[in-house]
Amino acid sequence: MRLIRQSEVSKLTGLSRASIYRQIDEGRFPKSVSIGGRSVAWVEEEINEWIEARIAERDDLAN
């Protein structure tokens, strides 16, 4: 299991920092994990699952 920082999450998802936190507040994005002090990271697997779910939604709409 690997933790990734916000910059990598943004690169993987194409979302800005503000969009990530807005979607977290709305319950539509994986929550971050505190890694000490004010530092947070995300579980890479959860981000990949979120991306896969977006792709599946797209494919379901196309059918």
The pLDDT tens digits for 24-53 are 999 999 999 999 999 999 999 999 999 999
Average pLDDT, the chain: 96
pLDDT at 10 over 90: yes
| Predicted local distance difference test score (pLDDT) of residue 62 | 74
Record the pTM: 0.91
Compute the C-alpha angle 43/46/47, nearest 5°: 90
Maximum pairwise Cα distance, the chain: 46
Domain boundaries, the chain: 3-62
DSSP secondary structure, 12-63, as one string: HH---HHHHHHHHHTT-SPPPEEEETTEEEEEHHHHHHHHHHHHHHHHHHH-
Rounded to whole angstroms, the Cα distance separating 32 from 2 reads: 13
